[in-house]
Amino acid sequence: MTVLLQTKGLTKRFQGLVANEDVDFTLSMGEVRSVIGPNGAGKTTFISMISGHLRPTSGAIFYNGQDITRQSLPVRASHGIIRKFQTPSVFTGLSVYQNIELSVIASRAASRHTAARVGEVMELVRLNDQARTLASTLSHGQRQWLEIGMLLGAQAQLLLLDEPTAGMTAEETNATGVLINDLTQELNLSAIIIEHDINFIKSLKAPITVLHLGKVFREGTFEQISADPEVRAIYLGTD
């Protein structure tokens, strides 16, 4: 399979604190990857360096074979690397339609296709009957979907999803898992998903990268990772 994203020796230091150290990571085109790890493992820092929100201290990021380490955030986004934030970040004062419309405008799609594209995306994230609803009055789960819809509207190729099910009910979490699997398979998108919800990670059936203290600790399938005593130890402690 073709490599979509690759990081080499990616390191981020905040003053004395090492948030990420020497992270080598490879993602194939169309692949979904779960990134897990205890609090403070450096998951969000890692995603932020890929999205362009943070500059790495050292190391390099390659996307479609091109070195993007020095590219700015909007440039990366226009190449399809788009991030969903841990706390849903939407245009709260605007309607669902207007939210998606802005993301489609951001993708620089021809204006005559805008309305059709907005309709398509609203259908994909199951918000088509909420077009006129203000984003501020959506439920927490719907807001997460709206933000995912905005990544689609902006024509993301690589979805960076930071805790997409945070604050969702069990039912919403399940639906989100189905949604992400559908999207990545139907539209051949790739995704890196940070999560804590173990049932959700299981339902994704995606390979897992475990981060611990800023480094890659393990990589493997859900079965391998969940059976690994050392992974259990870093979550629960050994002594």
Partner 1 sequence: MAFHILARFDGEAKFAVVVFVLLALIPAALGGYTTYILPQYMCFGILAMSLALLWGYTGILSFGQAGFFAIGGYLMGLVLSGAIPFGGFVVALLLAAGLGYVVAALLGYFLFSAGVRDAYFVIVTLALSIIVEQLAVSQSQLTGGWNGMFVMRPEVDLVVAKVNLYGDLPAFYTVLAIVALVYVLLHVYTRSRHGKILVGIRENEARLTSLGVNTAWKKTLAFALSGAVAAFGGALYAMHSGFVSPSLGGVLFSTEVVVWVAIAGRTSLLGALLGGIAVSWLSSIISAWTPAYWQLFVGLIFIVTIVFFRDGVAGAIAQISRKRRSKT
List residues binding partner 1 (CB under 8 A): 51, 53, 73-78, 82-83, 85, 89-95, 97-98, 101-103, 105-107, 111, 115, 131-132, 150-151, 154
- The least CB distance from residue 181 to partner 1, in Å, is 23
Angle at CA 147, nearest 5°, toward 179 and 79? Answer: 95
Nearer to partner 1, 132 or 237 (CB): 132
- The least CB distance from residue 49 to partner 1, in Å, is 14
Q: Which residues contact 29 (CB under 8 A, 6 or more apart)?
A: 1, 2, 3, 4, 188, 190
Nearer to partner 1, 72 or 169 (CB): 72
Which among 116, 176, 119, 111 has a CA at the least distance from the CA of 143?
176
Contact predicate 193/164, CB 8 Å: yes
Nearer to partner 1, 43 or 84 (CB): 84
- The least CB distance from residue 154 to partner 1, in Å, is 4
Nearer to partner 1, 3 or 73 (CB): 73
Which among 160, 147, 152, 149 has a CA at the least distance from the CA of 5?
160
Nearer to partner 1, 36 or 152 (CB): 152
- The least CB distance from residue 24 to partner 1, in Å, is 25
- The least CB distance from residue 60 to partner 1, in Å, is 22
Q: Coil, strand or helix: which one is 57?
A: coil
- The least CB distance from residue 151 to partner 1, in Å, is 8
Nearer to partner 1, 151 or 210 (CB): 151
